[in-house]
Amino acid sequence: MRILVTGAAGFIGFHVAARLLRDGGTVVGVDNLNGYYDPRLKRSRLALLEHARFEFAHVDIADRAAMEALFEREKFSLVIHLAAQAGVRHSIDRPHDYIDSNITGFLNVLEGCRRARVAHLIYASSSSVYGGNTKTPFAVEDRVDHPVSLYAATKKANELMAHSYSHLFRFPTTGLRFFTVYGPWGRPDMAPYKFARAIARGDVIDIFNYGRMQRDFTYIDDIVEGVVRLARQAPEGYRLFNIGSSKPVPLMKFVHALENAFGRRARKRFRPLEPGDMVHTNANVSALERATGFRPSTPLEAGVGKFAEWYCDYHREELNEHGTRRASDSRQFAAAFRAS
């Protein structure tokens, strides 16, 4: 299969592309390598994707002409759309970035798939669409009419856009609502990475809502497994799934797991809830399990341990200055992938 993965230099996109290559697929990866966070991390991910069956295209999905040319040049049997302008808090300060990437960019992907008659589009939504919902666990059948950030609103808009294309053009689309993804090669703007950096350096961690938060932390391998299994099933029309651990964890328990992994205590500063933040997330994954026979199962301590090992290896030179004790298996990950 020739597969397009947008956001291939991003956290989830990189892991999905690597898995598809290991499974024998041919992958075209698209990314604009923007500066939302350090592009060097994105280029490091891409370096691990060097493979005879991988091609990288430095393209912004919001560039209509470039996306039209890409779909005209390539013949994709599957599109996995993971590119987006991420970040809840960033959407408050830079709203136009979210309309350009998440709305215009998604439209360009939909149009490309429609015109090229792509057999199946899988796209990333987000648990943030549940917004102000109080019923838990969150189920895909629940109404999601109260987003509490512009980022969440754009993801809800993506679901509506996909539904309209599936209805009008009999076009198969699968939307995936991801729940707080963490693991090796993660995003520096997300809490797990921020916490790890602060603990390793001895800096202060900001704990919002005074620690009274719960998150459905989901390890990256479980996210990838769900994506790959659903990619094998082209639906007749439109469908949605949650992919989350379905085991919400108090924020302070996650912090303690990181402290144990790094072997040092965090310096904490407790602060009020930030605008756009959700207090509690919890995924109902029964639909995913019925469709694929799979549900995420990586224990928190195991996932956090692997993340901490990778973090210490990737930042080895910097952390030597701070005396952080862990070593990592990320070189083994790279060697195993290249040998496959």
H/E element holding 216?
Answer: none
* Residue for token pair 């493979």: 51
Contact present, 254 and 192 (Cβ < 8 Å): yes
Pairwise CA distance, residues 73 & 28, whole Å:
12
List 98, 130, 151, 165, catalytic entry? 151
Pairwise CA distance, residues 338 & 50, whole Å:
8
Mapping DSSP onto H, E and C, the string for 296-328 reads CCCCHHHHHHHHHHHHHHHCHHHHHCCCCCCCC
Contacts of 127 (CB under 8 A, 6+ apart): 138, 177, 178, 179, 180, 216, 242, 244, 278, 281, 283
261 token code pair = 């992994």
For 120-149, give one letter per residue: b (16+ CB within 10 A) or e: bbbbbbbbbbbbebeebbbbbeeebeebbb
Q: Are strands 249-250 and 214-215 parallel, antiparallel or unpaired?
A: antiparallel
- Annotation marks residue 151 as catalytic: yes
Q: Among all residues, which ones are annotated catalytic?
A: 151
